[in-house]
Amino acid sequence: MTALIALTIANIRSYLRNRQAVFWTLMFPLIFIFLFGAIFTGGNNSIKVGWVDADRSEASAQLRSAFAQVPIIKLVDLGQSDALEQMRHGDVSGVIVVPAGYARSAAEARQDPSRQANVIVYTDPSQISARGSVMQVTNGVLAQVNLGGRLPAIVATARDLQTQDLNAVSYLTPSILGMALMQLGVFSAIPLVADRENLILKRLNATPLRRWQLVGSNIVMRLLIGIVQTALIIGVGAFVFHVQISGNPLLGAGFALVGALSFLALGYVIASFAKTEDAANGMVSAVQFPLMFLSGTFFPLEQMPNFLQVVARALPLTYLSDALRQTMVNGAALFPLWVCMAVLVGWSVVCFGIAARFFRWQ
Amino acid sequence: MSNARAGAETVISVEDLRKWYGEVRAVDGVSFDVGRGEVFGLLGPNGAGKTTTVEMLEGLREPDSGSLQVLGIDVARDPGALKERIGVALQTAQLYPMLTVTEVLELFRSFYRRSLPSEQLIEFLDLGERRNGRTSELSGGQRQRLAVALALVNDPEVVFLDEPTTGLDPAARRALWELVKRLQEQGKTILLTTHYMEEAEVLCDRLAIMDHGRVLEMGTVNELVGRHFQERTVFFSAIPGLSDERLAGLADVTGVKHDEGEVLLYSRDVPATIGALLAATESIGAEPENLGVRRATLEDVFLDLTGRALRD
């Protein structure tokens, strides 16, 4: 046990002192999230905003014309229920509601500084760019309307509305976690082959250290990195892109663990057949790129041509990512969870079996 | 062939060891014994089978046939028990480049039930200045000393050193030789492989000369040289026009060999041979260049055994 712990600590130290390795394993997935997050949440110059006028007064009409003058938003007049429905479907990015009685409360507020008139603004917290724009425009317009009063008479009340479909970043966050766990496992082949090439494995084999201790410490270290990665990815998704993390955290963690193990097993298979570090690099690329692009990481499987969908169904990452989407962000199921678990467990067992048979220590 | 030193307990016993890779007979019927406290050398060119032999003794490779006993342990049967009690320095390029000397020593200590304090090893191997330096920043000599330190972590009774000075500069090589002698003073049994004749002469109590997977000769340096040469060696740069027949006919010459542009005459009476040689060269209007005399060495023994030079 001491040997296992000492070796794990040695591995972690070596890893942490290799700045490049740390950067790539931890930052690479985040770069993807930021990149795609920016692509999918930015975009259109004019933002469609639903306008619901429940007051139908002169004051509300004035407010509307103030909003209409802002070039980056395009107002769409709608009834309240229609407006929220359209927003759920993504037809409008936000909804501004002028409640009934607005004219009266606005007038009262101008007389009596202790009172305020309200405008309600609905935005989706996961669409950060649109949300930011709508709130900014609203605050700007209201600041102008309020000009002259010592205290703001009219204020915006922000309301969140989660749109129905998984938006792009919510889809991406669990997918990229799956991708990161896949890479963590597959890339483990490279240092392993390097250690064999540099005769480190042989040297260790000349000590009483058991092979299970060596393999065990390697797996423990990778899993620890996996935990850090998972925390970072979920953290960025939740706090930067406001992805609503909901679902079963225990089940999600279980899938992350089994997924990490199954791709570590794949890494060991690669290390079993790669004779040199260069060969290992090539094989890792050959394995990880198809997995990355054909497993529905960046866009849903249904958007791929049929024959690629067949390929995707054969790839383990498809099942890991699907399970993670189901358990982290309530994503729509491609496969039942038990199927995902069975595929990942089966994959781990087969790969570790192959590695146990073919892995060479020297 | 001589056995382990009289009276000493045998700690390594190799009998008819064989390891073939397909058609290649890497080790082909090797036998030898090493007594406690001895420094025993396997001398031979690259590919002679030295490393394969040692790795089978260390439990790293399985022999095809033959018996191996180290410290009374049957290597094939109980490699785990063996590994607790031996120390190994491979021709390893680098161990854990990102860790410091102390960290690597501590890591290896964790593998053994019994181990020496890191500080003691650092002291013994003169690595104090580098104890907190990364192993990747060590010089060749320091790296090799660290490899030996790792071999000593468990205070082993038997130490295997595979080509310990290959690639080292002369000063670092001498420092390592001193180290091996100090280990011997501590009573450790040492089995080393080398292709440096001088190293074998300086360090080894006894040695086996290996080539093509076989032991050609075994004994102390004096035994080996004495067995092949009562004579001394007269050497000079080859002279065109002086045939081997003519040289062999010179006074008291018992043999003629060529070694990389040098002619070697084995002589029972050096003054007589040199006198005859000078007369012969003068008669063809030449003069022997780089003329010299020495005792026969292991190099001569190897040349005599295989017909080629040991050094590459």
In a shared domain, residues A140 and A211: no
Question: Domain limits at A84?
Answer: 44-160
Q: What is the mean pLDDT of residues A42-64?
A: 80
- Give which of B36, B2, B30, B35 is closest to B18, Cα–Cα: B30
A275 CB contacts (<8 Å, ≥6 apart)?
A: A193
Asked if A1 is an interface residue toward chain B (Cβ–Cβ < 8 A), one would say no
Run of H or E including A154: strand A154-160
Decide which of A160, A190, A218 is a domain's last residue: A160
Residue B90, Cβ neighbours under 10 Å: how many? 25
Band of the pLDDT at A164, cuts 50, 70, 90?
very low
Distance of residue A271 Cα from the nearest chain B Cα, in angstroms? 19
Contacts of A202 in chain B (CB under 8 A): 60, 90, 92
Decide which of A160, A184, A201 is a domain's last residue: A160
B110/A198 CB distance under 8 A: no
In a shared domain, residues A25 and A100: no
Question: Where residue B258 sits, what CATH number does that domain have?
Answer: 3.30.70.980
Cα–Cα dist A185/A167, whole Å: 28
Contacts of A205 in chain B (CB under 8 A): 60
Q: Which two three-digit tokens encode residue A260?
A: 């990490």
pLDDT at A171 over 90: no
Q: What is the mean pLDDT of residues B81-98?
A: 85
Of B60, B95, B111, the CB nearest to A362: B60
Residues in chain A, overall count:
362
CB B28 within 8 A of CB B41: no
Asked if A209 is an interface residue toward chain B (Cβ–Cβ < 8 A), one would say yes
- Residue A348: what pLDDT? 95
Q: Nearest-CA residue of chain B relative to A209?
A: B111
- Residue A137: what pLDDT? 83
Q: Which residue has the tokens 């008291």?
A: B252
Environment class of residue B222 by beta-carbon count within 10 Å: exposed (0-12), middle (13-18) or buried (19+)? Answer: exposed
Q: Nearest-CA residue of chain A relative to B78?
A: A208
Q: Nearest-CA residue of chain A relative to B84?
A: A208
Residue-wise pLDDT for A201-225, tens only, equals 899 999 999 888 989 999 999 999 9
Cα–Cα dist A98/B175, whole Å: 90
Question: Where residue B58 sits, what CATH number does that domain have?
Answer: 3.40.50.300
Amino acid of residue B187: G
Band of the pLDDT at B64, cuts 50, 70, 90?
very high
Q: Nearest-CA residue of chain B relative to A9?
A: B107
pLDDT at B122 over 60: yes
Question: Domain limits at B240?
Answer: 230-295
Contacts of B105 in chain A (CB under 8 A): none
Contacts of A362 in chain B (CB under 8 A): 60
B83/A6 CB distance under 8 A: no
pLDDT at B229 over 90: no
In this predicted structure, which of A246-260, A319-333, A343-357 has the lowest mean pLDDT? Answer: A319-333
Band of the pLDDT at B2, cuts 50, 70, 90?
very low
Domain count, chain B: 2
> Is there a domain that residue B303 lies in?
no
Residue-wise pLDDT for B184-217, tens only, equals 999 999 999 998 888 998 999 999 999 999 999 9
Q: Which two three-digit tokens encode residue B43?
A: 């001398």
Asked if A2 is an interface residue toward chain B (Cβ–Cβ < 8 A), one would say yes
Asked if A207 is an interface residue toward chain B (Cβ–Cβ < 8 A), one would say yes
Decide which of A135, A160, A185 is a domain's last residue: A160
In a shared domain, residues A34 and A136: no
pLDDT at A317 over 50: yes
CA dihedral B174, B175, B177, B178 (to 10 degrees): 120
A203/B90 CB distance under 8 A: yes
Chain B interface with A: residues with Cβ < 8 Å: 58-60, 80, 83-84, 86, 88, 90-99, 103-104, 106-108, 110-113, 150
In the beta sheet, which residues pair with residue A49?
A: A75, A94
In a shared domain, residues B68 and B148: yes
Q: Nearest-CA residue of chain B relative to A199?
A: B92
In a shared domain, residues B235 and B172: no
Q: What is the mean pLDDT of residues B117-136?
A: 91
CB B131 within 8 A of CB B102: yes
- Residue A152: what pLDDT? 67
Contacts of B52 in chain A (CB under 8 A): none
- Residue B14: what pLDDT? 95
- Residue B76: what pLDDT? 87
- Residue A73: what pLDDT? 83
In a shared domain, residues A210 and A342: yes
A54-60: long-range contacts, CB 8 A cutoff, minimum separation 24 = A54/A80, A54/A97, A54/A98, A54/A99, A54/A100, A54/A102, A55/A98, A55/A99, A55/A100, A55/A101, A55/A102, A55/A103, A57/A102, A57/A103, A58/A103, A59/A102, A59/A103, A59/A106, A59/A107, A60/A98, A60/A102, A60/A103
In a shared domain, residues B185 and B269: no
Name which residue leads in pLDDT, A296 or A256. Answer: A256
